[in-house]
Structure 1
Amino acid sequence: MGEFLVGIAGTPEGARLATLLALMSAVAHAAFGALQKGRHDPWLSRGAIDAGLIVISAPVALFLVPWPTGQVAVLLLGALVIHFAYKVTMALSYERAAYTVVYPVVRGTGPLVTVLAASVIFHEHFSVVQWLGVSCLSGGILMLAWVNLHENDIDLRGMKIGLLWALAAGILVAIYTTYDAYGIRQATDPFTFLAWFFFITALDFPLLAAWRWRAMTDRPALGPLFVRGLVGSFVAWLSFGGVMLATRLDKVGEAAVLRETSTVFAALIGWLFLGEHVGKRRTALMGLVALGAVIVEMGG
């Protein structure tokens, strides 16, 4: 399977598969964000998800695929540092501010910076039409955050701090998207890289979450956390693995932009399954986000 993916990279067939993988990643990431923010402490939720990732990834990494060596091993250690910083900023933003405000800010900032980084590192270039699409998508996402900000009863000071952390997380999304795309392109087999990536980058937060859980006076039950973590680990494979494979097959910038349609899917999940009110303004902005993604894809 890995050889097949490498073989179609850069071809029209690879581009079509990359589009499907990026959209699958968007749906999965919307669910992933909701799982982390949920009713549990976001630090514990992320720790549980990472523990689940260790459980499902360790057997594959340790026994089924080759061990990483040389440059790939160094890149995986770098990924551990970058993703730890990302996870910390996400937990801090979720701790301070509402999910409906934080999530769009993170996802709206990421593609703008990623497209710029991809142009420097991978020499990708967007057409004027595609830049219009990026503007529609990121602008729609950020305006969605603005609407959500003004329709919630909020602690203004806490919200401002949460938004600053969300902005930092958005920049780290761009960094890890570009870095991971470079890393997976250096590996002979992309699935070998993914197995070790999910195992190594999940080693940190379970320890941090365990320390936090032990320090709590009112400790939540571990059973529901374990279930949430196991479900989240499979969702993480689809979300992060899908977009990384997409960047291996086609342009990094286009995959990053398409993935950020996750904001639309998050709103649809809230409307269809959680009974949340969407309204005309949110519907219009989600349409703008979707239109931006279509423009980027068709304008290439």
Structure 2
Amino acid sequence: MTLSEWFISLEGTEAGHRFALILAVSAAFLHAVFGALQKGRHDPWLSRGAIDASYGLMAAPFALFVVPWPEPHMWILFVGVFIIHVGYKLLQAFTYTKGAYTVVYPIVRGTGPLFTVFGAYLLFGETFNPMQWFGVLVLLSGIFGLALYNYLYLVTDRATLIPALWLALATGLFVALYTTYDAYGIRATADPFTFLAWFFFIDGLFMPPIAYLRYRRMENPPALAPLALRGIIGAFVAFASFGSIMLATRLDKVGEAAILRETSTVFAALIGWLVLKETVGPRRVALMALIALGAVIVEFAG
């Protein structure tokens, strides 16, 4: 049995549901790592360009020579994937340029699942019961509470904060759009790994030229070796993070996977504390606990 056959055999089973849970939570942690890599020591545009170039090059041989060739109807879907992810990346880079990571990241991640739940209802007919909606409200109260707390107490330079918040809101809308669209795409092909390989190959085409032009215009551009290393590490994180959430939406409900992924805000706060040396106090810990509690309610009330 091939990997694809094994994965497809899990669809609609209890084992598939459990595996989707593991994939979604793994995606949450890895997405927080991915966000920190893009927001870290390098310019966000350069970081994203290095990451995209790395995973595009890595995915190319798999897309062209390993996985089955996409069905004819998939090409128009890949055009949509490219356009939507271009919009998401541009908004995300502008957001990280304008605002503090611990403020804008919760806004992005809090807006995304709310609209994804509605998108999953419209596209896939998925519904939440009242207890699951209560879990959504608990999770969102923790996410937006965390953003508000960071806004009130941890941000010193507010000159660009209001534009950053609007950009974060728009980015969250694109998160919902790409989550539901990618879920539709990975369900539309016989082999989910065909979608993943071509997704990363196509998705890696846009940002590297922009990053290169930005690098050329810099008065003091960073050394290439550390930037390239960040790109390679980020590529592997992206494979695991975006790949996990897409596979989870193939196996189980899109809305539930999106909610579970947003526990990434908890991991992002921990990364901000441990790696970026940002302050974490008891109030933020309590808000992070709300996020985790909301995700648990959504999962176990389903």
The TM-score normalised by the length of structure 1 is 0.97
Q: CA deviation at 1:215?
A: 1.4
For 1:198 and 1:34, locate their aligned partners in 2 and report how far apart those are by CA, in whole Å: 20
Pairs aligned (count) = 300
Unaligned runs of 5+ in 1: none
CA RMSD in angstroms comes to 1.1
Structure 1: how far apart are the matches of 2:129 and 2:156? 40
Q: Quick one: distance in 1 between partners of 2:71 and 2:274?
A: 46
- Partner residue in 2 for 1:148: 150
In structure 1, distance between residues paired with 2:99 and 2:12? 41
**Separation in 2, partners of 1:149, 1:270:** 14
Partner of 1:234: 236
Please list the CA deviations of residues 115-161 of structure 1 after superposition, one character each: whole Å capped at 9, or x if unmatched.
01101110001000000111111121011011111123433341000
The residue number in structure 1 matching 2:98 is 96
CA distance in 2, matches of 1:147, 1:80: 35
Which amino acid is 2:196 matched to?
Answer: L
Counterpart residue number, 2:194: 192
State the Cα distance separating 1:69 from its structure 2 match: 3.5
- 2:179 aligned residue: 177
What SS does the corresponding residue of 1:70 show, helix, strand or coil? coil
Q: Counterparts of 1:268 and 1:29 in 2: how far apart (Å)?
A: 13
SS in 1 for 2:73: helix
Q: Is the 8 A contact 2:31 2:264 kept in 1?
A: yes
Specify which of 285, 288, 298 is matched with residue 287 of structure 2: 285
Mapped to 1, the partners of 2:278 and 2:217 lie a distance apart of 34
67-76 or 256-265: which moved more?
67-76
Q: C-alpha separation between the residues in 2 aligned to 1:216 and 1:68?
A: 40
Stretch moving more, 66-75 or 171-180 = 66-75
Q: 1:219 pairs with 214, 218, 221, which one?
A: 221
Per-residue CA distance 1:193-232 (angstroms, 9 max, x = gap): 1000001011000011011111112211111110000000
1:257 lines up with 2:259 in the alignment: yes
Write the distance in 2 (CA, Å) between the matches of 1:20 and 1:234. 18
In 2, Cα distance between the equivalents of 1:220 and 1:66?
40
CA distance in 1, matches of 2:7, 2:66: 19
Select which of 111, 120, 123 maps to 1:109: 111
* Cα drift, residue 277 of structure 1: 2.7
Once residues 69 and 212 of structure 2 are traced to their aligned partners in structure 1, the CA distance between those partners, rounded to angstroms, is 28
Q: Which runs of 5+ in 2 are unaligned?
A: none
Post-superposition shift, 1:185?
A: 0.1
- Could you say if the C-alpha distance between residues 155 and 20 of structure 1 is closer, same or farther in structure 2, counting changes exceeding 3 Å? same
1:52 aligns to what?
A: 54
Q: TM-score scaled by structure 2?
A: 0.97
1:71: which partner in 2? 73
**What is the CA distance between 1:276 and its match in structure 2?**
3.7
Question: Which among 152, 160, 163 is matched to residue 161 of structure 1?
Answer: 163
What is the CA distance between 1:275 and its match in structure 2? Answer: 4.5
In 2, Cα distance between the equivalents of 1:213 and 1:87?
17
> Could you tell me which amino acid in structure 1 is paired with residue 58 of structure 2?
I
SS at match of 2:92: helix
For the Cα contact (< 8 Å) 2:36–2:271, is it kept in 1?
no
Separation in 1 of the partners of 2:282 and 2:209?
A: 44
Matching residue's letter, 1:247: T
Q: Which residue of 2 aligns with 1:126?
A: 128
Deviations 1:213-253 (A, max 9, x none): 11112211111110000000000011100000000000000
Q: Aligned residue for 1:20?
A: 22
Q: Is 265-274 or 72-81 further displaced after alignment?
A: 265-274
**Matches of 1:121 and 1:273 in 2, distance apart?**
39
